[in-house]
A = this chain, B = another copy of it.
């Protein structure tokens, strides 16, 4: 699949945007006119820079309000088009996006529109330019891709084709199956965007709330499947207007965008396989019209990724603190056992049953305790890591000694380190043998509950605002967690945007929460949201009442942790919540 992105998706200057696209690995870009106008680069500079960066200049956009006008306005529009075509020649570009008229259309007559589009195509042909005609969801007379394509068909000019934009199609709930009937040589361009299902006017929805594929709720794999079955093999390009992305770090957003296309490619291939299987089951040939000539593959080559099964459970949670004594006390009171210090690293291990907590003492002084890392049980850490890396997840560099388990670590968007651990049938973890009971810590604590069983029940992570959507896609694509419908939960300090991510058996539940007032400056490192928002790790225990009693008796206000109910809160730091019943034993 040829990957692309519109410069309008990103923040910064045109030069910065182009560099970020090259770094993220896009094949091509759409030049958004405003980005060119505000750039000090000449069209020739842009052309050379794109060539040097290995980026195709795949689409010039947008050309607005052309058709359905009176003859005098049409003459002006053709002069305007002529100027754009000359500019495109300087850029070395050959495809322009023309949207259906929103502002100046006065005549609702398809035969007039066809005639006007035909004149545009003829002019474009003289300049070697191809016009990709797109139905805007709020176009005055033409707002449906099938209508727009009927006009393209009527004109039947080699320089006029259709542009399909998933947002304009799916936001209106148009049926996508008829895409398969479009001749592939008449599809000039495909744009994709996802969006949360919101009830608002479609223009505002489009301009502010589009997200990258996998971050919203549109059926994009199906849309792309129909496009592939039509025989299209050109660029698939992101056009996402989003207020957050345009304020965020450009390189990072470009990588998030690229991840979304890689993921969409895989999902589209899966949809196609399922479609072929269901057609075969019905006894129908799986070949779409474009695929009837005995080709075993669709013209659009869809890359796949190493598959991972959803994680079987949490392997461990790691909390970083510069005051380990408080956490030691709390864990001891909860009935956790001190398993010792690591042979070579400055960390302690505490466990109750299969609930394992690592205390990392290397936090900077006076920092709040924070959840620094989560381990997940997977079938093959190496394959899972390969998949994550192909999805552009940053690898966590980690020093290991020769005889230690090599953890495959990747960084989540909020900088939590995610470790892919070898799961075991009995829920044990081989790496715990790297910890040694030194009796230096853990003395004087109450004796742990003998044979107490517990697991990590769920984890709640505070997300910085600019990486919330990215985090949903990250956990979906790299870790095979399933996003649940998102919610807005009332809290004492306002609505909290909350996204639950789970495995199908709910053995892993991860809650991503965004408190709107806890904003972090773009470019700020780390997760500032943690400073003022409660994260928590919840444990499922065998006997909640016994655990709670124990906690109450051992409770000491000097530790700074005040038990309220059976929920144990730690203000501005991970709070630890015994819950019930255990989801795994």
Contacts and interface: CB of A to CB of B under 8 A. Distances in A.
A25 interface: yes
Contacts of A25: 390
A54 B266 contact: yes
A296 B94 contact: yes
A233 B231 CA distance: 14
Nearest to A385: B23
B386 A306 contact: no
A53 interface: yes
Contact of A383 (B19, B130, B293, B296): B19
Interface stretch (A76-84, A297-305, A351-359): A297-305
Contact of A54 (B94, B305, B382): B305
A230 interface: no
Contacts of A304: 27, 54-56
A299 B300 CA distance: 10
A526 interface: no
Q: Which of A185, A233, A301 has the largest count of B CB atoms less than 10 A from its CB?
A: A301
A365 to B, nearest CB: 17
Question: Which A-B residue pairs are the 10 nearest by beta carbons?
Answer: A54-B304, A397-B397, A23-B386, A22-B306, A54-B305, A52-B307, A53-B306, A54-B306, A2-B301, A25-B390
A52 B297 CA distance: 19
A272 to B, nearest CB: 13
Contacts of A234: 297
Contacts of A425: none
Interface of A: 2, 19, 22-23, 25, 27, 51-56, 94, 130, 158, 185, 233-234, 266, 293-294, 296-297, 299, 301, 303-307, 380, 382-383, 386-387, 390, 397
Contacts of A94: 296
Contacts of A23: 306, 382-383, 386
Contacts of A306: 22-23, 52-54
A378 to B, nearest CB: 13
A296 B27 CA distance: 15
Number of this chain's copies in the assembly equals: 2
A187 to B, nearest CB: 13
Nearest to A269: B54
B303 A27 contact: yes
29 contacts: A19-B380, A19-B383, A22-B306, A22-B383, A22-B386, A23-B306, A23-B382, A23-B383, A23-B386, A25-B390, A27-B303, A51-B307, A52-B307, A53-B306, A54-B266, A54-B303, A54-B304, A54-B305, A54-B306, A54-B307, A54-B387, A55-B304, A94-B296, A130-B296, A158-B294, A185-B293, A233-B299, A234-B297, A301-B301
A234 B293 CA distance: 15
A383 B53 contact: yes
A465 B425 CA distance: 42
Nearest to A273: B51
Nearest to A397: B397
A299 B296 CA distance: 15
Contacts of A380: 19
Given A53-B306, A53-B383, 9 more contacts: A19-B383, A23-B306, A23-B386, A27-B303, A54-B266, A158-B294, A233-B299, A299-B299, A301-B301
A307 B53 contact: yes
Contacts of A52: 306-307
A301 B28 CA distance: 12
A50 to B, nearest CB: 10
A233 B2 CA distance: 13
A130 B296 CA distance: 10
B233 A301 contact: yes
A58 to B, nearest CB: 10
